[in-house]
Each structure stands twice: as C-alpha cells, then as structure tokens.
C-alpha cells in the first residue's frame, strides 16, 4: 500500500469552480461561493480509496490549485 497523502489547495489559485468537491464529496463541502471547505480547515489526509478521485481532481482542476503531497 502507498504512503498516506494530503490534498493541498493553493488558495491563491482557487476560484471556487467546485470540481474537487464534486469528485470528493466525503472530503470537501462547498461554501456559499463554491469554494471547498474541509472539516478542520487543514489539508485533508486521504484514504486509500479516495486516491483515484483525488488524482482526478488534481488533473481536472481548471486553476491548477490542487496538489497531492506526502503527509510529512
């Protein structure tokens, strides 16, 4: 099994299109303007089952605001 990853949002790039919250509804909610919200306001740590959707979110983000990073 691979090492745990976190999904980082670059807030200077994000413009609230909602692709990440659509692909990862268990990880992100959306605020009134469409920006992603996490439960604890930190980069979410992803479960192994969420990695394919997270990779899709990174690839499909229209503003290139998402990155998968090691947990450490």
> CA-to-CA distance for 62 and 56, rounded, in angstroms?
12
Residues 41 and 28 sit within 8 Å (Cβ to Cβ): no
Dump pLDDT digits (tens) for 39-54: 788 999 998 999 999 9
* CATH fold for the domain made of 5-70: Alpha-Beta Plaits (3.30.70)
Q: What are the structure tokens assigned to 19, written together? A: 């692709």
> CA-to-CA distance for 50 and 6, rounded, in angstroms?
11
> CA-to-CA distance for 43 and 68, rounded, in angstroms?
10
> CA-to-CA distance for 49 and 64, rounded, in angstroms?
22
Return the pLDDT at 1.
55
Give yes or no for residue 2 having a pLDDT over 80: no
Q: What residues does each domain of the chain span?
A: 5-70
């Amino acid at each position: 099994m691979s090492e745990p990853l976190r999904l980082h949002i670059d807030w200077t790039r994000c413009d609230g299109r909602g692709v990440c919250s659509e692909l990862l509804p268990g990880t992100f909610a959306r605020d009134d303007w469409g920006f992603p919200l996490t439960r604890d306001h930190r980069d979410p740590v992803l479960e192994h089952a969420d990695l394919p959707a997270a990779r899709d979110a990174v690839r499909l983000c229209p503003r290139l605001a998402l990155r998968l990073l090691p947990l450490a």
